[in-house]
Chains A and B, each alone.
Chain A
Amino acid sequence: AQRVTQPEKLLSVFKGAPVELKCNYSYSGSPELFWYVQYSRQRLQLLLRHISRESIKGFTADLNKGETSFHLKKPFAQEEDSAMYYCALAAHNAGNMLTFGGGTRLMVKP
């Protein structure tokens, strides 16, 4: 069975500092990975997906199959980045069902 692990429940950084939210996965097939974000009092929304290889709001994430990781990075954190971040994996051998990590709360201090 697939599993997604976000080892940090809380990550606190100062504005302008680099930030990396860790995500590790276990899956026997070829994974499709996502990062979702939930800002305070808002709904969950897609931030980025690995197949798009895009940068959204300054965030990037690279799939590292060797390390089975999909860490989310931003070189200079902003206060508005404070939110809950969820890493998710779509299992193609299970009908693309999503498995979520436990989430990491990012707090960016002024």
Chain B
Amino acid sequence: GAVVSQHPSWVICKSGTSVKIECRSLDFQATTMFWYRQFPKQSLMLMATSNEGSKATYEQGVEKDKFLINHASLTLSTLTVTSAHPEDSSFYICSARDPRVGDNSPLHFGNGTRLTVT
């Protein structure tokens, strides 16, 4: 079945540095990918919708310059947390839908990335 691969699974970085998280659709092409964030003991929150070949659509309250999203190809979307700070420490997960199955097909989730900023 369709698989979404996310890398890295864990990352620890120092405050002020930038971190890139990759999300790949392994056996399908995804024109749209979704980036979610989960704070401890809270539910997932949609951060942005990544659109291949165009700008991402950010949710209200999400800083575009802080969380850079690039969807350069039909199988790869990247989320870069720029100038990371401890409050950016969170669990980030991407998902995509296989367009071959239709708009109502299930979301396929990456395994997520645990970011810790020290």
Residues of A within 8 A of B (CB): 9, 34, 36, 38, 40, 43-46, 49, 84, 86, 94-100, 102-103, 105
Contact = CB atoms under 8 A, between A and B. Distances in A.
Interface residues of B, number: 20
A109 to B, nearest CB: 15
A105 B43 contact: no
Q: Considering residues B10, B36, B44, which has the most beta carbons from chain A within 10 angstroms of its beta carbon?
A: B44
B107 A84 contact: yes
Given A43-B46, A44-B46, A102-B1, A96 B104 contact: no
Q: List the 7 closest A-B pairs by CB distance, nearest first.
A: A46-B43, A103-B106, A95-B114, A100-B109, A43-B46, A97-B112, A84-B106
A36 B114 contact: no
Interface of B: 1, 9-10, 34, 36, 38, 40, 43-44, 46, 91, 93, 95, 104, 106-107, 109, 111-112, 114
